[in-house]
Amino acid sequence: MPWFDRSLITTSHLRHGRLGRGLALLALIAAASCGDEGPPPPRPTSINMFPAQAAFDAVGDTRNFVAAVRDQNGLALDDATVTFSSSNPAVVSVDANGRATAESDGSAVIRATAGDAVGEAPVTVAQIPTALEEIAGDGQDAPAGTDLPVPLEVRATDRLGGAVPGLTVEFSVIEGGGSVTPQTAQTDAQGRAMSTWTLGTRAGEPQAARAALVGSGVPGVPFTADAFAGPPAEIDAVAGANQAGVVGTQLPVPLTVRVVDAFDNPLPSQVSFTVISGGGSIAPSAVTTGFDGLASAVWTLGATEGQQVARATSDDLQWDFMATGVSSAGPPAMIDVVSGADQASPIDAPLPDQVSVVVRDAQGVGVSGVDVTFTPDEGSVDPMVATTDASGVARTTWTLGSTIGTQTLQVSTTALGPLTVSAEGRDPGPTCVAGTPDSGAFNITLCYVASVTAPIEQAFENARAVWESLITGDQSDVPPRGDEHTACVSSATAPPIQGAFIDDVVIYVTIEEIDGEFGVLGSAGPCFIRQSNALTTVGSMRFDVADLDRLAAADRLELVILHEMGHVLGIGTLWSTKGFLQNAATAGQTPPGPDTHFDGPLAIAAFNTAGGQNRTAGQKVPVENVGNAGSINGHWRESVMDRELMTPFIDSGVDNPLSIISV
């Protein structure tokens, strides 16, 4: 290779040698790199928010916001990094994934940011109350006319249970008088509002108040309370003041006082009776008043003629009675009622209290030894003629006649009267009179706890007649215990069984609200059974009043009654007691359940006769083994016996026969 002096190399040399060709290539590359650079990379330029706006109606409500990011060419940038924020986090907060949560009423803007691009969605929170609930104040008691110890308090909430502040709650008294303070209140940050309830002044009367949201259809909140009498404030004479009598004898009218509170409500209290002057005695000396506030005692005058004084005291309250003692009474001059007038009682029944009258002389002194005649316009008295005692008092027991309404009693002596005494005869209401015992027939007595319409009563009587015709064996007659009406029936109007014996079954019938239409139709069972054979003597049936008319219109009422009456007589209810129920089921078991069955030989024979002789899938007779406690162990199995009347369910549109298996 020839050697060259570098300094002598020129451009012309480069053009012709290998070095020239290399430098030319470098020049070409450099020229290329200084030309067009191509399209710029994508960058976020716009964001669309979905949803574009939102409204919240409850605190805690949420929405998911999505940010759609596009570049400068309008193309989606799915991998862009987006940051979410809220302009007012106290109203609406938002997390890193765009999930917004309502925090309180107000407005805000949800923002999504990617690079320089921003998307916005306006949001509002306006809570809508959906419930008003009681927090405190219901079911209290306090003296009449005073404030309840705990204020009435309610809480307004939205559909998610969040407290709704700033609402107007109106408090009002519905029953019993009294007042609430304030009558309107705003719900606070916890959604609560309070008011103080001052009870009405009448003790024992129903007290009711209500809280409601103003301008809202949300149901209000009821409150009830009991008002009782306050501390004793006054004692007054009711009877026995300013009498006159022979010294050493009882005054004809007992001393009677009434203790009341500041609002004239009577109240239980301890009352003491003492003689202040004149001698004599009072019995009893101490009396505890009832809820009527009354206390009575008999005053026997001392031996001193002239004014005598007795005193009734209760705490620091007192009342002084004056009486005049005389040596002897003059001739009869007047006759007055002491007690027993204006009573009320069921017709054909004695009045609760005897009728007492006093014969007095012209000075008001009781005259002894006078014959008094009592003559009722109907009914009877015992005695008809009574002689006045040392106090001048005569008494009789009046049994009313059969007239509902006013009845009268004439009272007279040979020289005085007649004096008219009135009483009110009332409808005796439901009665329960057991039938006269007989032999050979099976008898059912139905006792209605309340009046029923004629068509309903006829349906019960028809069912009774069916069972009486099917059961041929007479049962032993047993005397009533006296408490069957309270043991079998919860209603206070249930009548006691009248009669010396129960022949053969007494059934109480109660028609009342149970659970509304299309729910439980009724329930029934024995209350008392015979010791001799463990069969029913007294039972009860309950029916839901809401279902009766519908069942009657569908011609199903008598079937339901017949079914429930069968339970009273022991079908399903006494199987276990009699030892016939085998492999009992438990409520809530899922199918197929245990092989619950009834192993009475007569029922098995009847089941075979009715077509069950070839049954091999379990023991006979199959008993309901799945469902609730009201169905299992007490009915024939629905899946096997279907339409038979003593299965758990009535089948509509078809017959529901009472088969020989049940009988």
Residues 209 and 260 in one domain: no
Residue 187 lies in a domain: yes
Residue 27 lies in a domain: no
Tens digit of pLDDT for each residue in 481-540? 888 888 888 777 788 888 888 888 999 998 888 777 777 777 889 999 988 888 999 999
Residues 495 and 533 in one domain: yes
Using an 8 Å Cβ cutoff, are 543 and 560 in contact? yes
Identify the CATH number of the domain in which residue 290 sits. 2.60.40.10
Mean per-residue pLDDT of the chain: 89
Residues 378 and 421 in one domain: yes
Band (pLDDT 50/70/90 cuts) for residue 192 is very high
Band (pLDDT 50/70/90 cuts) for residue 432 is confident
Residues 148 and 107 in one domain: no
Band (pLDDT 50/70/90 cuts) for residue 169 is very high
Residues 412 and 448 in one domain: no
pLDDT reading at 18 higher than 50: no
Structural domains of the chain, count: 5
Q: Are strands 106-114 and 66-71 parallel, antiparallel or unpaired?
A: unpaired
Residue 183 lies in a domain: yes
Tens digit of pLDDT for each residue in 227-239? 999 999 999 999 9
Residue 662 lies in a domain: no
**Would you state the pLDDT for residue 517?**
74
Range(s) of the domain holding residue 246: 234-326
Tens digit of pLDDT for each residue in 437-448? 777 788 999 998
Cis omega (within 30 of 0) for bond into 51: yes
Residue 413 lies in a domain: yes
- Helices 545-553 and 454-470 pack at an angle, to 10 degrees, of 80
Using an 8 Å Cβ cutoff, are 625 and 543 in contact? no
- Residue 593 exposed, middle or buried by CB count within 10 Å (0-12, 13-18, 19+): middle
Residues 471 and 559 in one domain: yes
Residues 54 and 156 in one domain: no
Residue 632 lies in a domain: no
Q: What percentage of the chain exceeds 70 in pLDDT?
A: 94
Kindly report the pTM of this predicted structure.
Answer: 0.55
Mean pLDDT along residues 411-419: 95
**Would you state the pLDDT for residue 37?**
64
Residue 639 lies in a domain: no
Residues 451 and 564 in one domain: yes
Residues 223 and 238 in one domain: no
Domain boundary, last residue among 426, 459, 476? 426
Domain boundary, last residue among 569, 602, 631? 569
pLDDT reading at 17 higher than 60: no
Residues 399 and 413 in one domain: yes
Residue 470 three-state SS: helix
Domain boundary, last residue among 228, 250, 270? 228
Residue 575 lies in a domain: no
Tens digit of pLDDT for each residue in 309-330? 999 999 999 999 999 999 999 9
The whole-angstrom separation of Cα 426 and Cα 105 is 64
Residues 468 and 560 in one domain: yes
Residues 399 and 495 in one domain: no
Band (pLDDT 50/70/90 cuts) for residue 36 is low
The residue type of 171 is F
pLDDT reading at 468 higher than 70: yes
